[in-house]
Chain A
Amino acid sequence: GAVVSQHPSRVICKSGTSVKIECRSLDFQATTMFWYRQFPKKSLMLMATSNEGSKATYEQGVEKDKFLINHASLTLSTLTVTSAHPEDSSFYICSVRYQETQYFGPGTRLLVL
């Protein structure tokens, strides 16, 4: 399998500030990473597909200027929530695809006050 890490695990910020979340593939090079958002006891909602060296592909309804994704290397993708508001509070999870399976990071809990 693949090992994926995320940092930070939890973050609390004030409304209007920006927050950066890192996703790292620790044991293999990932040309593609995925960013999800999840509400309590609900399934994962795909936000965007992060592509190394090129622009991310965003799902319908996800604001690309609000959720900035950068995939600068084969092991690191970042998600920046810009000008965060309380409605952005959620659980954000990244994943990588290795062969026929997706492997997930431990998630980042964002709370915007």
Chain B
Amino acid sequence: TQLLEQSPQFLSIQEGENLTVYCNSSSVFSSLQWYRQEPGEGPVLLVTVVTGGEVKKLKRLTFQFGDARKDSSLHITAAQPGDTGLYLCAGAPITGNQFYFGTGTSLTVIP
């Protein structure tokens, strides 16, 4: 069961365009992480958000945690080919050790 739904599932855009990826759930999480994964490698942590309504920026990437801590978004400004990869959100439940992963968004940025 996927508790976290990501949209879109696939995205192909031209270099320089902006995009937003959404991560939605009906469950509340104590924190939420975003990862980027390249083929043949493990996911690499981009950011952890903890507070409802929190916004974090990482260069051209902006992450927002929903006020109710049920959803999150990732916005990329002026996408570059190096942004190409699989983007995964993951939520840490209020109790328990297990993380719940989103369905994933495969991004391709065309030069």
A: which residues have CB within 8 A of B? 1, 4, 6, 32, 34, 40-44, 46, 49, 91, 93, 95, 97, 100-107, 109
Contacts and interface: CB of A to CB of B under 8 A. Distances in A.
19 contacts: A34-B98, A34-B99, A41-B106, A43-B6, A43-B103, A43-B104, A44-B88, A93-B43, A100-B31, A100-B33, A100-B92, A101-B48, A102-B33, A102-B90, A102-B99, A103-B45, A104-B43, A106-B41, A109-B40
A49 B106 contact: no
Interface residues of A: mostly helix, strand, loop or mixed? Answer: strand
Nearest to B89: A43
B80 to A, nearest CB: 20
B50 interface: yes
Nearest to A42: B104
B86 interface: yes
Given A34-B98, A107-B40, 17 more contacts: A1-B45, A41-B86, A41-B106, A43-B104, A49-B97, A91-B40, A93-B42, A93-B43, A97-B99, A100-B92, A101-B31, A101-B33, A101-B45, A102-B33, A102-B99, A103-B45, A106-B41
